[in-house]
């Protein structure tokens, strides 16, 4: 169930974004079905299939905003085993006209049934040709006393008009506030994407180097696996 505070957060975000992107925004809606809710190499759906609905707006001036509704399932020790997950983002991206572009923004995640995992991140990145590098910072990752930095390197290459090669390398480091303890994890993804008209299909091999205690999921959720995803643009 969506509580009033979540409705308020999401709607205020979307209203702010709609104002920011202005009247000339391109509005894009998308539904997706994936074999799991995979986030940075971890299954947030306990390896179960999950659907999502996304709404995005891009303005000619470079402002962008988006919102996502999906589902998460946590490990057996949590107060709530599962919850709707709401994501929102806002930012600004600009093409320099010199063969590269940059972006800055912020994103937030809210869980309806357990607000203790809610968190926010700021991000910045650049894209050069087929390469993209991006850094995220969260002062309290997944609502915990962890400061988290996540860096990712993404690569996309068209193989044919419709087929694309996708590659991703991510590195996350988190520090417990006021302590020396820290953890670093790596996650990778290699996949193929097909796009035909409104339909997109991505098949990826996802791997991580170790279990991360940053996520409220079962230990089995970080195993290497295939992730299949089907997108349909509305």
Partner 1 sequence: MIRFFAWLAWLTLAVNGHAGAQSAPASPATPIAQVLVMLHLPAPHYRPNSGYAGAYTDTAGQQARRREASSIAHQYGLKVVNSWPMPALGVDCFVMQLTPSQVLTDVVRRISGDSRVDWAQAVQTFQAMSLGDPLYATQPAATRWHLRQLHRETTGRGIRIAIVDSGVDIHHPDLQDQILDWRNFVDSRALVAEAHGTEVAGIIAARAGNGIGISGVAPDAKLLALRACWQDPDRKTACNSFTLAKAMQFAVDARVQIINLSLAGPPDRLLSRFVDVALNDNIAVVAATDPKLPGGGFPASHIGVVAVNDRHSHGAALTGSRDSGHVELTAPGRDIPTTIPGNGWNFVSGSSFAAANVSGLIALVRQLAPKARMGNMAAWVVHPGGNPGLGGTIDVCATLRMHSPASSCFHPLDQAMRGSW
Pick the closer one to partner 1 by CB: 102 or 183: 102
Q: How far is the CB of 30 from partner 1 (least distance, A)?
A: 4
For partner 1, the closer CB: 103 or 183: 103
DSSP code per residue over 90-138: EEEEEE-SSSEEEEEEEEEEEESS-GGG-EEEEEEEEEETTEEEEEEEE
The pair of structure tokens assigned to 70 is: 């999906």
Which tokens belong to 74?
């946590």
Q: Work out how close the CB of 140 gets to partner 1 at its nearest, in angstroms, rounded to a whole number.
A: 18
State which residue, 19 or 226, has the beta carbon closest to partner 1: 226
Shortest Cβ 196–partner 1 spacing (Å): 5
Q: Which is closer to partner 1, CB of 43 or CB of 70?
A: 70
Alpha-carbon torsion angle 83, 187, 224, 114, nearest 10:
-10
Is the CB of residue 215 less than 8 Å from the CB of residue 42?
yes
Asked if residue 21 lies in contact with residue 63, where contact means CB atoms within 8 angstroms, the answer is: yes
């Amino acid at each position: 169930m969506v509580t009033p505070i979540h409705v308020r957060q999401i709607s205020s975000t979307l209203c702010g974004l709609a104002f920011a992107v202005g009247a000339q925004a391109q509005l894009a809606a998308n539904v997706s079905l994936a074999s799991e809710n995979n986030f940075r190499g971890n299954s947030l759906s306990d390896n179960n299939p999950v659907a999502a609905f996304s709404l995005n707006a891009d303005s000619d001036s470079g402002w962008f905003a988006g919102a996502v509704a999906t589902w998460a399932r946590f490990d057996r020790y949590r107060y709530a085993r599962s919850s709707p997950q709401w994501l929102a983002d806002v930012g600004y991206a600009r093409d320099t006209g010199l063969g590269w572009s940059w972006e800055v923004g912020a994103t937030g995640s809210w869980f309806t049934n357990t607000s203790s995992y809610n968190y926010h991140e700021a991000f910045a990145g650049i894209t050069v040709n087929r390469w993209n590098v991006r850094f995220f910072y969260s002062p309290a990752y997944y609502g915990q006393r962890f400061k988290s930095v996540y860096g990712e390197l993404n690569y996309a290459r068209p193989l044919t008009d419709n087929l694309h090669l996708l590659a991703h390398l991510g590195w996350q480091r988190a520090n417990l506030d006021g302590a020396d303890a820290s953890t670093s994890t790596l996650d990778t993804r290699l996949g193929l994407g097909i796009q035909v008209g409104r339909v997109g299909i991505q098949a990826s091999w996802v791997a991580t180097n170790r279990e991360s205690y940053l996520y409220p999921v079962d230990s089995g959720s970080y195993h290497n696996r295939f992730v299949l995803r089907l997108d349909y643009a509305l």
